[in-house]
Amino acid sequence: MNKLASANGINPRLAIALALTTLATGFFTTACTGKGGTAADGNTVKIVSSLPMTGSGIGQNQTIVNGIKQVLDETNSTACNGKVKIQYESYDDATAAAGKWDPAQVTSNANKAVADKSVVAVIGHFNSGAAKLSIPILNKSNLVMVSPANTYPGLTKPGKGEANEPNVYYPNGKRNYARVVPADDLQGVAGAKWAKSLGAKKVFILDDQELYGKGLADIFEATAKKEGLQVLGHEGIDAKASEYKALMTKIKALGPDLIYFGGTTQTNAGQLIKDMRNVGMGADKVKFMGPDGTFEKALIDAAGKDAEGVYATFGGVPAKELKGTGQKWYESYKKKYTAEPEAYAAYGYESAKVIVDAINKVCKNDRDAIREAVLNTKDFNGVLGTWSFDPNGDTTLTTLSGNVVKNGKWEFVSVLKAQ
């Protein structure tokens, strides 16, 4: 907020009138331009996250929040040699009624962030469908969002989604979204190639009919066909169904050796696995593979003993497989939280680190300048390795991994390549 002008030598009433006019003008300019304005305290900025903190996704997303908090603890919640204070607030983009991310809550959070003039960056979302709703709202105020988990290609890459994507998400013509995780056009390809290397010849594909899940399933299907796999069918499921025995009985009759599910734990992957096993498709005969949306402890909890032998791809490598700076982070996380980090904890840490780095370059509450600094991140030496954001806001990292549930825990199998 602008400081009041000194009233020395000025009629007191005139000084008060001038002060009120200055305040009113500043408020009006901020409210009407949508540029973001300045915080009440010019030396304080805020980072917020918008993640599903209600429902089964809380385990995964709490570790993302833990990673964010680690960064702020390491910097004593300051930037610019202590001149700028950084606050952090965690928003929940899920509701108990939905049991996962909720569109109304997502847009409410985005508008809340825009309205809080101290907010200079958003970390989120976990789900690509949620990001699709938030990005345009934040874009109008030049508010940057860095995602630790969104992977739908159409959010950033021309020709990889719908005809109007990605430009439809950026109404002011500037990019305000970036992600530190490789997109699905890489993961879907790597998943299909891995399925073939695991010995699959006939696959049946399911998806949850959401942006992320269907997009991945479509890419997996196209690649599977190129790789010479026989695609027996591809169906969308009702993610709120109580069981899928009839569907699995139908699939069993077709004789697949692998079922691929484009979806998440929260869109009923656990129940699909249970019913697949219940109708006689044992892990020794028919493999089940999911994407990174199933690569979490919550999937094992949901499927129970039937999770054994389930495969999942991930747009990176698990925390304990990180090297160098990443390995040091992994050890510090375990020491701080006395627990293993879930898959995306390192990506939450990296997202926050990139944003704090941008704040250190700008050293003031300037949403547009911080947005630009984030998008211009180059040769960043982080816990994930050394990487940059490309012109679309995508990471230059392309390493992925394959993982399997063994003895009730996820285990790293191998590095996967999409090329």
pLDDT digits (tens, 9 = 90+) for 13-42: 333 333 333 333 333 333 333 334 333 456
- Identify the pLDDT of residue 42: 66
Residue 270: band (very low, low, confident or very high) from pLDDT cuts 50, 70, 90 = very high
Q: Confirm if 345 and 311 have CB atoms less than 8 A apart.
A: no
Answer whether residue 335 shows pLDDT above 50: yes
Rounded Cα distance between 405 and 412, Å, is 9
Tell me the average pLDDT across 175-195.
95
pLDDT (tens digit per residue) in 355-406: 999 999 999 999 999 999 999 999 999 999 999 999 999 999 999 999 999 9
Instruction: Please state, in angstroms and as integers, the Cα–Cα distance from residue 107 to each residue in 132, 232, 383, following that order.
Output: 10, 38, 31
The two three-digit tokens of residue 402, written as one number: 């394959």
For residue 41, what pLDDT is reported? 58
Q: Which residue spans within 253-349 are E strands per DSSP?
A: 258-262, 287-290, 311-314
Residue 6 has pLDDT above 80, yes or no: no
Q: pLDDT digit string (tens) for 87-115? A: 999 999 999 999 999 999 999 999 999 99
User: If DSSP codes are grouped into helix, strand and coil, which group holds residue 288?
Assistant: strand
CA distance 29 to 146: 27
Mean pLDDT within 228-255: 98
Q: Residue 334 and residue 337: Cα distance in Å, rounded?
A: 5
Across the chain, mean pLDDT equals 90
Query: Are the beta carbons of 43 and 85 closer than 8 angstroms?
Result: yes
104 DSSP assignment: H
Query: Confidence class of residue 418 from pLDDT cuts 50, 70 and 90?
Result: confident
> Cis peptide leading into 291, omega within 30 of 0?
no
Residue 11 CA to residue 191 CA, distance in Å, equals 75
Average pLDDT over residues 57-77: 96
Return d(Cα 52, Cα 34) in angstroms, integer.
27
Mean per-residue pLDDT for 61-76? 97
* pLDDT value at 353 more than 80: yes
Q: Stretch 220-235: mean pLDDT, rounded?
A: 98
The span from the CA of 129 to the CA of 401, in Å, is: 23
**Are 388 and 396 a contacting pair, CB within 8 Å?**
yes
